[in-house]
Chains A and B, each alone.
Chain A
Amino acid sequence: MSEAQDRLVAVLGAIPYARFIGMKAELAGDEMTAILPFSPEIVGNPMLPAIHGGVLGAFMEMTALAQLSIAETLKRQPRTIDVSIEYLRSGRPLTTYARAQIKKVGRRIANVHVEAWQEQRAAPIAALRGHFLLTGAED
Chain B
Amino acid sequence: MSETDQNEQHRLIAKAMNEGSPQAKALGFSTLEIGDGVAILKVPYRTELVGDPETGVIAGGVVTTLLDHASGQAVHAAMSHWTSIATLDLRIDYMRPAEPGKDILARAHCYKLTRSVAFVRAVAYETDPEDPIAAAQAAFMLDSSAGKKAGANLKPPGSSKPESEKKEGGQ
Contacts and interface: CB of A to CB of B under 8 A. Distances in A.
A44 B24 contact: yes
Interface stretch (B7-15, B31-39, B86-94, B112-120): B86-94
B152 A48 contact: yes
Nearest to B97: A79
B121 to A, nearest CB: 15
A17 B48 contact: yes
A19 B151 CA distance: 28
Interface of B: 20-24, 26, 47-54, 58-62, 64-69, 84, 86-94, 97, 145, 148, 150-154, 157
A90 B50 CA distance: 27
A80 B20 contact: no
Given A20-B48, A93-B153, A45 B59 contact: no
B16 to A, nearest CB: 9
Nearest to B91: A84
Interface in A27-46: 40-46
A49 B154 CA distance: 7
22 contacts: A15-B50, A16-B49, A17-B48, A17-B49, A17-B51, A17-B61, A19-B48, A40-B22, A44-B23, A47-B145, A49-B154, A52-B23, A52-B69, A53-B87, A58-B61, A61-B61, A77-B54, A80-B94, A82-B92, A86-B89, A87-B89, A93-B153
Given A54-B68, A79-B94, A82-B91, A16 B50 contact: yes
A81 B62 CA distance: 15
Contacts of A14: 53
Nearest to A82: B93
B94 A62 contact: no
A42 B26 CA distance: 8
Contacts of B62: 17, 58
B21 A46 contact: yes
Nearest to A94: B153
Contacts of B91: 82-85
Interface string A54-91: 11011101100000000000001101111111110110
Nearest to A21: B61
B35 to A, nearest CB: 22
Contacts of B97: 79
A52 B68 contact: yes
B14 to A, nearest CB: 14
B21 A16 contact: no
Q: What 5 A-B pairs have minimum CB-CB distances, sorted nearest first?
A: A58-B61, A54-B65, A17-B59, A52-B23, A48-B153
